[in-house]
Amino acid sequence: MRFISFQRVGWAMLTLLEIVSCGPLCWLKEQQMANYTVIADVGETLIELLRDNMSDLIPEQDRMVLCSPGEIEDDATRLSLFLYQVLENEHLKNQEMRPVNSNALQYPPLTLDLFYMMTSYPSQQIQDRTERTLEEHRILGRAMQIFYDNGILRGSVLRGSLAGTEEELRIILATMNMENITQMWNSFEGKPYRPSVFYQVTPASIASTRQRDVDRVIRKDMRYYQINSM
């Protein structure tokens, strides 16, 4: 084995840096992402999840609705899901740009937290008040059970632009103080208070349409330093 001493070398190549593009970013997997319809798609996913699993208590699917309690005028509705607030997710706010191809980067998505109020309604055909109230509570309990058992939504459950993506939605039971609950129900003029629960669904991502062009970089950076002989 032959060793070369730096004392005998007048010039030494210390650094060789070669940066070569990998064409269409072959090492990265392109991620599909929902578009601007994601808020509607999340709502569709949730209401269809309830409809698919509550036929034992509510055979008629059109009696489970996605709307504000203030808009319900008939006595047929048994369960409503109302989107009452949309906020940007602070934890996922500053994400990195995503590669589109070897020449472009896509700006990070707008990531949202969606807040829903779920409310149950009794059948007016039941004359006994206690039994009517108990049925109202059964409906609410069954709906909560469905959301609890499906706390992470993925795959075939997702609807709209979410279908076929790798997106995951988490359903989280949220807390709401009585003052805020009262204020919300007061906004539904003429509507009596009904048992309600509140949920946060996250993360709902809206893909950005903005892109930034980048140059493919192929560069050799060779640096030489003289080492004084001893």
Q: Strands of the chain (E only): list them.
A: 11-19, 64-66, 79-88, 98-101, 104-106, 110-120, 152-153, 169-174, 196-206, 211-213, 219-226
Q: What's the pLDDT at 8?
A: 35
Ranges of the chain with pLDDT below 70: 1-34, 97, 99-102, 106, 211-222, 224-226, 228-230
As to burial, measured by CB atoms within 10 angstroms (0-12 exposed, 13-18 middle, 19+ buried), residue 43 is: buried
Q: What's the pLDDT at 10?
A: 36
Q: What's the pLDDT at 20?
A: 34
The pLDDT tens digits for 167-207 are: 999 999 999 999 999 999 999 988 999 999 999 999 999 98
Q: What's the pLDDT at 94?
A: 74
- DSSP symbol at 58: -
3-state secondary structure 3-18: CCCHHHCCEEEEEEEE
- Listed by start position, the domains of the chain span 26-214
Phi, psi for residue 157 in degrees, rounded to 5: -70, -30
Other C-beta atoms within 10 Å of 207: how many? 19
Q: What's the pLDDT at 109?
A: 86
Phi, psi for residue 170 in degrees, rounded to 5: -110, 130
